[in-house]
Structure 1
């Protein structure tokens, strides 16, 4: 858990922070919303209206790198948020996040942004078997964050802007502990930005051209620990092996296909301890799985946001639905070396949080 958290934070701060080259803003938000009932097992908790505040430091990218111009000079945000979930079983959340706000449309005095964000969440009252066993949403003190947001910016003058937005915040422990339902909060926020630093008035030349290699092949090894049931409470190791071919489409996108092998000791333990098999004379099913997948990478220079969908072609245990998804961040350290952090899910249920290293041929 600690290693994965550090890896996520490293990837998030991989963007430049030289204050002299960027416009910097201080943004504040007032938060109000509701908890989404995304699963029938969380209905007893999805009955409150969370409120909170957010404070973030934002930098407007200046086009120094080629990809910044392609995305029309987006905003990068580093934020700290507080949520009062208005339910004693759920407690309070403190969120540390980093995000990219991509401009959809800009005019002289307005702009519409779409956010992709991630980070870490601290919970004051997570699940406890003895004292808080009804909280099946937030089951670890530290969980992972996925966030999307639509922000409409209204410029009042050269320094001050209004920033109302609609926001979806998802927090999950990545199956580090069971139960693993996760929490989804939908909010309407009212905010304001104040420019605290202007960039130096000078021309910037492109110093980082984009990689436009038409075809790439990756071999990726990833792993971690997870738990699948309340009967098997101790997280056990897993690893995946992925062979993935990727095709360059345009400066923003790559598409790919792959074949993937899954080796999960928690699934093996779940199958072995399944009490339905006590009176079952059939042989215990194989825990190993094989999947075929398609994927997309949204590229921001060396950093990429990956989305993948796969189907199991070998899954004798039939322990999950036949289709799985993966969402994560990928960073290219070298021409041949890549690192990745990701969350693998089956619909709204996370199976595992992964950290991986790969070689590009």
Structure 2
């Protein structure tokens, strides 16, 4: 009855986690485009400018991983850029991020921020009307943001911000050309802190170890992605893979994993038919690989990184090794999904949508 009326005993109320304060920020950006390949030198001549608005919530200990990472902030941001170049035009992006304090005092803070999201470019590559845009070929692109931020208090709630960052835009070779944009950025702005300084009401308790610590799990998963093999062919080809892996949680934050997988990239078949002198006895485009990986855990989410080598690779369309970066979500105890970017020597190969089961 008392719980239904919203009242709880004093001892029980003291166990509730502190209310999570909110931070609201706005910044302006100054940037330049890195000419990481000669094919984009004609576009790396302007100095893009933009702005960002964001909202962050301070984690408060309601989940065990909050204390394990020393209470990071979780934020959402909207970012706008004007590239001051009629070929590139403008971009609009929205994403989520984690911001972790690496140094904190009552009036000063230094944070490291990592985020990802989706960006929209109204002016993509078009062979007839915008053929000079060799950087961005599709209107929708993924964005990855890295940033170091310094915040100094002006009043009890307002703070001035200075930040250095890197923004990367790419569509993961879904369409071509896709050299992507790398924007080193200097930002200045203002933050409004709902509570400053923020501290947990009590020192974080270590808490019990995760139930699956030291346990080995076996997983089976499959992926699907779309890929264009060249600018002259507008079609997008299906790319599939299947993976059998074993994983072992070795700490509160980390899982180590290893697996074998097979790949079928249908764009390679189209590429062979376009370049081979004869279509008789074309090499097998199927590939098989072995990888080792790590998962950095944040509750149900995990940041995935893999390094693999091809064991079966008759058609040498790429290097002998590959990398993978992704974001994984554990839907249930046994079902998971992830969005991964497969890379060959720093060049995007395909964006993979993965669904799997864990035994």
TM over 0.5: yes
1:146 paired residue among 144, 147, 150: 144
Partner in structure 1 of residue 62 of structure 2: 64
Alpha-carbon distance change, 21 to 228 in structure 1, aligned in 2, over 3 angstroms: farther
Partner in structure 2 of residue 125 of structure 1: 123
Alpha-carbon distance change, 126 to 260 in structure 1, aligned in 2, over 3 angstroms: same
Determine whether 1:335 maps to 2:333. yes
Partner in structure 1 of residue 186 of structure 2: 188
Partner in structure 1 of residue 356 of structure 2: 358
Deviations 1:87-136 (A, max 9, x none): 11111011111101122222332222221211100112111110111111
TM-score, normalisation: structure 2? 0.88
Determine whether 1:226 maps to 2:227. yes
How far 1:197 moved relative to its partner? Answer: 7.2
CA contact (8 A) 2:213 2:251 kept: no
Tell me, which stretches of 5 or more residues in structure 2 are unaligned?
A: 1-17
Equivalents in 2 of 1:69, 1:98: separation in Å? Answer: 20
SS at match of 2:29: strand
Aligned length: 339
CA contact (8 A) 2:125 2:136 kept: yes
Partner in structure 2 of residue 261 of structure 1: 262
How far 1:153 moved relative to its partner? Answer: 2.2
SS at match of 1:180: coil
Equivalents in 2 of 1:221, 1:99: separation in Å? Answer: 27
Equivalents in 2 of 1:106, 1:245: separation in Å? Answer: 39
Partner in structure 2 of residue 239 of structure 1: 240
Alpha-carbon distance change, 303 to 297 in structure 1, aligned in 2, over 3 angstroms: same
Comparing 58-67 with 225-234, greater Cα deviation is found at 225-234
SS at match of 1:273: helix
Equivalents in 2 of 1:110, 1:123: separation in Å? Answer: 36
2:22 paired residue among 5, 24, 43: 24
SS at match of 1:163: strand
How far 1:171 moved relative to its partner? Answer: 0.8
CA contact (8 A) 1:112 1:151 kept: yes
Partner in structure 1 of residue 213 of structure 2: 213
Q: Could you say what the CA RMSD is over the residues aligned between the two structures, in angstroms?
A: 2.4
Partner in structure 1 of residue 155 of structure 2: 157
Alpha-carbon distance change, 46 to 263 in structure 1, aligned in 2, over 3 angstroms: same
Larger Rg: 2
Equivalents in 1 of 2:103, 2:247: separation in Å? Answer: 30
Tell me, which stretches of 5 or more residues in structure 1 are unaligned?
A: 1-19
Alpha-carbon distance change, 357 to 208 in structure 1, aligned in 2, over 3 angstroms: farther
CA contact (8 A) 2:229 2:270 kept: no
The within-5 A match list for 1:58-97 is: 58-97=56-95
Equivalents in 1 of 2:63, 2:205: separation in Å? Answer: 8
Equivalents in 2 of 1:291, 1:191: separation in Å? Answer: 46
CA contact (8 A) 1:216 1:360 kept: yes
CA contact (8 A) 1:64 1:206 kept: no
Partner in structure 2 of residue 50 of structure 1: 48
Equivalents in 2 of 1:28, 1:211: separation in Å? Answer: 41
Determine whether 1:283 maps to 2:281. yes
Kindly indicate whether structure 1 or structure 2 has the higher relative contact order, using CA contacts under 8 Å at least 6 residues apart: 1
SS at match of 1:317: coil
Partner in structure 2 of residue 173 of structure 1: 171
